[in-house]
A = this chain, B = another copy of it.
Amino acid sequence: MLSTQVEIRVRYAETDAMGVVYHANYLPWFEIARIALLEKADLSYRELEAEGYLLPVLEAHLKYAAPARFDDRVIVTATLSEAPRVRLRIDYTVTLDGRTLTTGHTLHAFMDRAGRAIKPPLRVMTRIGVFFPPGE
């Protein structure tokens, strides 16, 4: 299992007229945690993109249990529970003071600049693979 956490302080720009974080604005937070997850495996999304490997979102799922508000310092946890194959599923939780606000997951596949599905670069499989030792 590969898992990491980032702290995000809620921006005023992320709130809406209900006085809470607008529901779409959790997806950029998931992305920040996803990029941190790759970094934990010594992978830079910026470098992958520069080499022509894009990692678009195929699916996104979100459940909202309680709202985040301006200035809250939420913790976003991203977890890769299974070794990636063609597709890569990442799970997320957003918590505030230990209380779960939002959960969700995203599904991804590697793609080239022309929009074609491609195999992930070897180092992605190797570096992430370290977190999924055989026999587990």
Oligomer copy total: 4
User: Could you tell me if A16 and B24 are in contact, using CB atoms closer than 8 angstroms?
Assistant: no
Residue from B13, B15, B62, B67 within 8 A of A59 (CB atoms): B62
User: Could you tell me if A71 and B45 are in contact, using CB atoms closer than 8 angstroms?
Assistant: yes
Identify whether the interface residues of A are mostly helix, strand, loop, or mixed.
mixed
User: Could you tell me if B13 and A16 are in contact, using CB atoms closer than 8 angstroms?
Assistant: yes
**Cα distance A22–B59 in the bound complex, in angstroms:** 13
**Cα distance A18–B12 in the bound complex, in angstroms:** 9
Which residues of A48-62 are within 8 A (CB) of B? Answer: 49, 54, 56-62
User: Could you tell me if A70 and B31 are in contact, using CB atoms closer than 8 angstroms?
Assistant: no
- A71 / chain B contacts, CB cutoff of 8 Å: 35, 44-46
Q: Which A residues fall within an 8 A CB radius of B?
A: 11-13, 15-20, 22-25, 27-28, 31-32, 35, 44-46, 49, 54, 56-64, 67, 69-71, 115
